[in-house]
Amino acid sequence: MPIVTCIEDLKRLHKRRAPKMFFDYAESGSWTEQTFRENTTDFEKIRLRQKVAVDMSDRSTAGRMLGEKVAMPVALAPVGMTGMQNADGEIKAARAAEKFGVPFTLSTMSICSIEDVAEHTSAPFWFQLYVMRDEDFVDRIIERAKRAGCSALVLTLDLQLLGQRHKDLKNGLSAPPKLTPATMLDLSTKWTWGLEMLRTKRRQFGNIVGHASNVEDARSLMKWTAEQFDLKLDWEKVRKIAAKWDGKLILKGIFDADDARKAVECGADAIVVSNHGGRQLDGALSSIRILPSIVREVKGETEIWLDSGIRSGQDVLKALALGADATMIGRAWLYGLGAMGEKGVTAALEVIRKELDLTMALCGERDVADLGPHNLLVPRDFEGEWQESGARSSDRATSLPA
């Protein structure tokens, strides 16, 4: 097993071992990828305050998410097509999360189905829902998640239509991959990936094929998917879905203080400050820069989690110190899965926990619950000052601190 000291090590292994179209699917943003890049680089602008001659014994990274104890306040975010990065990827990631003691979230657009993951794990997991125009399908998949014992519903709000991702279009992204001369040449160098894929029956979207009306193969799936994301999703529909679920509800994709307030009014048990990893609205601010404005608006009224851009335990610490109650990681664990399967996901979690633990100690803290702004040095203009204009606002210079 290769020596892994940081998430970047896993990323390099992932790139070497997974087919190009699937690595690019993970490592891409929309349009110019400005927001994708700044999600990570903006963390670097925040500095840490070192403290010395303090008791560093008996440290704890443990926290709580939705009232449940976790080994650290980090959950595995939902990622589509995970089973194409590594055979049976969702099952492997869920098992790694269960053993480590953090939550796993299964995407609607997963390769392994809800039932597959439930069959191969014993701990409850979360299910992420994309709202489709086919209301019968939505009702059925919610019931399937309930039957599988999913303990929370993660409702994604920022993907009513798909942001343009140039790499996916150029690569002809599909699951399973279409056999063109380019993909066949690439796959010929990824023989370990190919052998593992031959051993599994799970190569299509397991939550959709055979469950959605008239979707029985890759061609009908593509047609169905292209037509199904619900452009009319609004807060009233969010309330209706919350009532159908009638359980713990997480609203993902909150990126505005007013929307955070509406999420609270809808009864969200947690909100996820996220720009979908820079894969939707390119040109939006990074998640870490938006976080303080959301914290000021609804802190204490619902759990606030941060997603998008986290690549280290130091990033987790910075998010917590800026007011997040917890975090979600996507690419960080996906790199591990693509690199080494279940062991790679475990390695990613171990890297993040070690970095969080050591950084916390060197900042003079022994418990993640005690982290706060006093542990950080934040640039005075970090949130930025922006000119608002247009019919819905007065023309004035304003900054996010309000």
Residues forming the active site: 276
- Report the alpha-carbon distance of residue 386 to residue 241 in Å, rounded: 35
- Which 8-state DSSP code applies to residue 284? P
Binding-site residues from annotation: 25, 78-80, 107, 128, 130, 156, 165, 252, 274, 276, 279, 307-311, 330-331
Binding-site residues from annotation for FMN: 78-80, 107, 128, 130, 156, 252, 274, 307-311, 330-331
Binding-site residues from annotation for glyoxylate: 25, 165, 276, 279
Contacts 24+ apart (CB under 8 A), 94-99: 94/120, 94/121, 94/125, 95/120, 95/121, 95/342, 96/333, 96/342, 96/343, 96/345, 96/346, 96/349, 97/123, 97/125, 97/345, 97/349, 98/122, 98/123, 98/125, 99/346
Q: 128 and 78 in contact (C-beta within 8 Å)?
A: yes
DSSP calls for 186-214: HHTT-HHHHHHHHT-S--S-TTTTTTSTT
- Report the alpha-carbon distance of residue 254 to residue 267 in Å, rounded: 14
Parallel, antiparallel or unpaired: strands 396-399 and 385-388: antiparallel
